[in-house]
Amino acid sequence: MKKRIISAAITLAFLPAMASAASALSGLEKLWTYNHASTGVAGQTSEIVAFDSLTNSLWVAGVAGVDVLHASNGSLIQHINTSIYGSINSVAIHNGVAAFAIENTTDRTQPGVVKLFDTSTRSLSAGVNSINVGALPDMLTFTHDGSKLLVANEGTPTNYSGYDPVGSVSIIDMSNRAVAATVNFNHAAVSGTDLRPKSVAGMDYEPEYIAVSKDGSKAFVSLQEANGLGVINLNTHQAEQVIGLGSKDFSQPGNYIDPSDRDGKIELRPVAARGLYQPDGIAAYESKGLTYLVLANEGDTREDEADKKRLGGAGDASRLNIASPDTKPGDVVTFGARSFSIRDQDGNLVFDSGNQLDAKAIALGIYDDGRSDDKGVEPEGVELLEINGRTIAFIGLERTLKSAIAVYDITDPTNVSYLDMIVTDGDLAPEGIKGYFHDGHYYLSIANEGTSTTSLYRLAAAVPEPSTWGMLLGGLGMMGWMGYRRRNPR
């Protein structure tokens, strides 16, 4: 009897530790990979992935159309041909409605279209299912309550000496499926530093990616080429401001880079150069009631690369691709920060991963030295999951030798922890990442542009919250005491 009591006491003592030890990657398991060449449709790739909980299916957008996959086993349910409308750039799903962002079929400088599909029938939704939006709709997302659909119209010109369509955000009211407002940032208040004006970038602001605050009151828009962050008030449908995101000093400890692709070595070292942050993917979350933004600092040039050149010379930065209009004598400026950052909603930098992404890729043997002169591992996508009370960030790295997703605990934005790197053999260049919770488990789906493959990982199983553990401990304690009384009556 004494042994039983001691055993129960040990079990009770270690239950809290067992709970706290359950990490975001506990039980990490790759479930399947689908090769979109198997679809048999010319030009079909894997770029953006969305999850539909109603049908337990993954919808993968890839230029020629959308492949709908069984999330349970990765088999193809149906290919939806969207080439009749134009090239598809993105897909988002909310409550059984799948929204497709499609650029103009003949001229991408002309208005694009959003098509709405029913996820159960996989056909166009009943009622209004086609909505005209701005030029080159590149990304779209629903607000958390599904009342609005926001579309980032990048508006990239085909010919920089000709017509340049205005970059904008279309705000679609889902109650009547009509555009309630079209917002651009050309006349918004400007703050911050190193914002690339039109005279430098040769274009207006080109929205890249959108994140929505938890309360649905604000939209935060990455203006990648301009090195800016746009803020939209979703109550008034007004552009509140554009914030210049500054630059990163690669000569400072913790920020060192490998600047050369031709020196025969991989070495992170101080370089007299600054990197513009220029985020692509962006996500929003709350910590202690405050809104924070997570940004993948990829870097980007004008599409015609007229603002890029090689520095040259004999210095350590000679091989760097530099931002030519921004660079001055003694002040070398290049594209991208080779990191991910966390900022508050006013754009102030709270955390930056420094050169950790490059360093981890080097340690794992997946760093691509051929990209050393041009943005390094090139962080592109961001996805957030709240797992067992922790906020976990997944950062997709586009330029590694294998598909790589860096995983961080960002619950406290002032105390961020690196957890691991998910590396997938046979996959390359993750473009889209989607995390979700279904049937008691957390999952991460990865759309890999380089190999036109989509892979699914199962992450942690749900564990009780701390308060639930307390109730469980109390219940176990009572059960143990009752069992003891039954075996030892007075």
What is the reported pLDDT for 476? Answer: 36
Q: Which has the closest alpha carbon to 138: 173, 201, 94, 91?
A: 91
Q: Compute the average pLDDT of residues 357-384.
A: 97
Six-digit token string for 334: 């290049």
What is the reported pLDDT for 163? Answer: 87
Six-digit token string for 90: 């993105």
Q: What is the pLDDT of residues 387-399, one digit of tens each?
A: 989 999 999 999 9
Six-digit token string for 37: 């060449």
Q: Compute the average pLDDT of residues 101-129.
A: 96
Beta strands in 43-161 (DSSP E): 48-52, 57-61, 65-70, 76-81, 88-94, 97-102, 111-118, 123-124, 130-135, 137-142, 148-153
Q: Which has the closest alpha carbon to 144: 229, 210, 100?
A: 210
Rounded to whole angstroms, how far apart are CA atoms 85 and 329? 48
DSSP 278-327: ----EEEEEETTEEEEEEEE-----TT-TTEEE--SSSTTTT-EEETTT-
Contact 53, 101 (CB under 8 A): no
DSSP 35-74: EGGGG--TT----EEEEETTTTEEEEE-BSEEEEEETTT-
Q: Indicate the angle between helix axes 466-487 and 2-21, nearest 10 degrees.
A: 170
48-52 β-sheet, strand order: 48-52, 57-61, 65-70, 76-81
Residue 366 has pLDDT above 90, yes or no: yes
- Of 25-34, 42-51, 146-155, 335-344, give the lowest mean pLDDT range: 25-34
Architecture of domain 82-245: 7 Propeller (2.130)
Cβ neighbour number for residue 4 with a 10 Å cutoff:
12
Six-digit token string for 390: 């922790």
pLDDT, greater one: 158 or 20? 158
Q: What is the pLDDT of residues 164-174, one digit of tens each?
A: 899 999 999 99
Six-digit token string for 211: 């994140």
Amino acid at the residue 345: Q
Helix (H/G/I), strand (E/B), else coil: 466? helix
What is the reported pLDDT for 23? Answer: 62
CA angle 236, 238, 239 (to 5 degrees): 150
What is the reported pLDDT for 24? Answer: 67
Rounded to whole angstroms, how far apart are CA atoms 428 and 422? 12
Residue 369 has pLDDT above 70, yes or no: yes
Rounded to whole angstroms, how far apart are CA atoms 413 and 382? 15
Q: Calculate the alpha carbon distances from 203 to 68, 170, 209, 275, 391 in Å.
A: 36, 19, 17, 20, 36
Residue 264 has pLDDT above 90, yes or no: yes
Q: What is the pLDDT of residues 207-260, one digit of tens each?
A: 999 999 999 999 999 999 999 999 999 999 999 999 999 999 999 999 999 999
What is the reported pLDDT for 469? Answer: 36
Q: Compute the average pLDDT of residues 10-37.
A: 64
Cβ neighbour number for residue 477 with a 10 Å cutoff:
13
What is the reported pLDDT for 20? Answer: 33
- Of 177-181, 196-200, 290-294, 369-373, give the lowest mean pLDDT range: 196-200
If 0-12 CB within 10 Å is exposed, 13-18 middle and 19+ buried, where does residue 394 land?
A: buried
